[in-house]
Amino acid sequence: MAVLNCVKPGAKKGQTILLVDLTTSGDSGAVITTLQRLGYTPEIRHVSYKTGVHVLAVLKDEQHDAIPEDYLIDEWMQLRSEINPDAVHLWCGK
């Protein structure tokens, strides 16, 4: 599936993280409202990258023995249709 090429490593082995980078999402208040409307209760985290400190709304942070290839792809794609797609990330540790 071509969309899997957009899923980036950024997690430990077996870990899956679905998040929105509020630093790059646009109006963060509106994004939080959208996330809540979609049924999420985001956990806000601050992460220091080389480009500066980013504010992340972590929607899922899970650990699995085996991660199905298409796990969370539907949720990721829905979020990308509702929020700035550049701000929505799905990280899977292989």
Q: Which domains does the chain have, with CATH numbers?
A: 2-92 (3.30.70)
**Burial degree of 77 (CB within 10 A; 0-12, 13-18, 19+):** middle
pTM reported for the whole predicted model: 0.83
Give the residue among 21, 1, 17, 20 at the shortest CA–CA distance from 64. 17
Regions of the chain where pLDDT drops below 50: 1-7, 9
Q: What is the pLDDT of residue 84?
A: 95
